[in-house]
Structure 1
Amino acid sequence: MTENFRDALKRSPDHRRGRKDSPIVDSELRRLFDDLQKQLAETRNITEKLGITDVFEQRDAAEYFEKILCMTSQDASKIFKGELNHRTTCCKCDMKNDSRSFFWILPLMVEDSRYKTYNVEQGLEAFFELQQVSGDDQIYCSRCDEKQNADIKWEITQHPDVLTLLLKRFTFDYKLRRYVKLHCKADVPQTLHMEKCTYELYAVVNHFGSLTGGHYTAEIKSYENGQWYCFNDGHVESVREHNLTSPQTVFYSLHPPVQES
């Protein structure tokens, strides 16, 4: 249901050449999308390309989403690609250091609360809040030639056409001495406003179960008729309300969408 991504795959040179030895997965995705328009589709080709040998072992959906994009041609994957700037400012001399990097997904930490609804919009704001480091966490300043307190802040320098947010639903349980999943509900807004950009929600990936086992479903808005559908393996049905108990990854499209030349 990401129309620009599917259209870009159709134009992929690797798909036209049909190279079986290519690390690029464009041809496998293109074939999968073609099959899905006609019938139930098998994923054997794409899973083999991703190096998955045991399909019964749980994999992290967000991890393999990133892996797929890393193995997809640049023209297609750039739709999900954004750029972040990590700015560190010395609190003594005010020297600033900038470091830029690209991202596919922005990770949002979910608070450890079983009774409070997690707010995605507030989580996104917290990701970009100014952070101050001191004490043992001081950062070396080349101008001062010693460690100093510092301000740290992330900022988006390039907004992606599709903004992907990962809700990190886990915390360390000191009684059990292991990581456990957080099962709180989530408030997922229909619209996100970021600086001069407006994003509209169009897909939610849900995970039911624990960190070691469970089941994935997806709720996706059709670009053809605006209707939301729940995708549960081979079963698809229309839905009126979103399931907000177990969202793991949410997808927002830039509105209005970018017009390709």
Structure 2
Amino acid sequence: MANRDEVECWLTDMDGVLVHENEALPGAAELIQQWRDTGTPFLVLTNNSIFTPRDLAARLRTSGLDVPEEAIWTSALATAAFCKSQMPGGSAFVIGEAGITTALHEAGFILTETNPDYVVVGETRNYSFEAITKAIRLIGQGARFIATNPDATGPSADGPLPATGAIAALITKATGREPYVVGKPNPMMFRSAMNKIGAHSENTGMIGDRMDTDIVAGIEAGLHTVLVLTGISDKSEIEKYPFRPNEVLHGVHELVVGEPLESDSI
């Protein structure tokens, strides 16, 4: 789908697209309001599995964005949906925080350290050597290994922090088992998001700031892809990849009706 006019539903990344360091980016509030006023189905996506949608909705409100919690889709929710689809009423040993534990509970899972069906590794600021050791032993005993997202580091005021991907790599090294990663760039996350809002790939767009996660996953899911340059990507970054987004915009303000367009469409 090369024509934006055919898009009826939107998925959008959060950090680098709508907000940057807890400040709303230009046009973000107007775009969210435009979608709400027109009844356009949308979801705000994030690979962060620490927070619940309620937490993230509150964070966005402090940034000046009015996004209802039901319009937020996290890698934790996508992971819980995947696990439920594979093994309804299953059990899991979890390394993570409220985002993933709440999502799994609401999906009907039992959290346990005894013979779990899954070991699920998510993001936390308090990785425990004891919990990592337990995960390694449970996987060795046959538990299936799941990671909410592949991000190796996360940001902090003092510099990068080890994140889900780094801890999953440690467990892989110890067990020889690779995790199934549900979050971006796995298009599974987009498909579960579309299921939530009743959307179809033929009429859904994805807005992101990263070629290696948002755009590649959007392409693989068959979506109209829009790269914005307010995050980590710039035009020179695009040339490194063998695939292209449908559109490149300076920011989401260009998607607001009535705003002048500065896009480079392909």
Larger radius of gyration: 1
Interval of TM-score (by shorter of Structure 1 and Structure 2): under 0.3
TM-score (norm: length of structure 2):
0.27
TM-score (norm: length of structure 1):
0.28
Question: Which is richer in strand?
Answer: 1
Question: Which is richer in helix?
Answer: 2
